[in-house]
Amino acid sequence: MYSMPLPLMGATRTLSNSIESIILTISLYYWIQKDSKSELISRLFITLNFLCRATSLIPWPGLFLYRFIKEKNDRQKNLTINIAHAILSLMTELIIDSLYY
């Protein structure tokens, strides 16, 4: 069907872009919910998205900062959770990358 390998080489990029977009949409859906269970689910999807592609982390610091400024109560808790989440995401990415590369 394909006479040139170029379309097949681009298929993995299209697949990773689609997966990244889907995971980002799911994590944003849970991000706007207010309960702690939805926040945990959102953070799991954010980490999964970061594992899929490291550049997908770009919009999240702005969203974390917006929520930090907007919510006046429990700022220390939110800051601690966000820092811990960032460290865990980076550590997970480094461990998985070191296993495969």
Summarised one tens digit per residue, pLDDT across range 44-80 is 998 888 888 878 878 888 888 888 888 878 888 888 8
> Cα–Cα distance between 71 and 9 in angstroms, integer?
46
> Tens digit of pLDDT for each residue in 26-51?
999 998 888 889 988 998 998 888 88
Q: How far is CA 13 from the centre of its chain?
A: 18
- The token duo for 59 is 């919009």
Q: How far is CA 2 from the centre of its chain?
A: 34
- Residue 76 has φ and ψ, to the nearest 5°, of -65, -40
**Using only C-alpha atoms, what is the Rg of the chain?**
17
Q: Note whether residue 93 is domain-resident.
A: yes
Q: Note whether residue 1 is domain-resident.
A: no
Q: Which amino acid is at 2?
A: Y
Q: Note whether residue 61 is domain-resident.
A: yes
Q: Which residues form the domain of 22?
A: 6-100
Domain count, the chain: 1
Q: Note whether residue 24 is domain-resident.
A: yes
Residue with tokens 């959102």, as numbered in its chain: 42
Q: Note whether residue 60 is domain-resident.
A: yes
Q: Note whether residue 22 is domain-resident.
A: yes
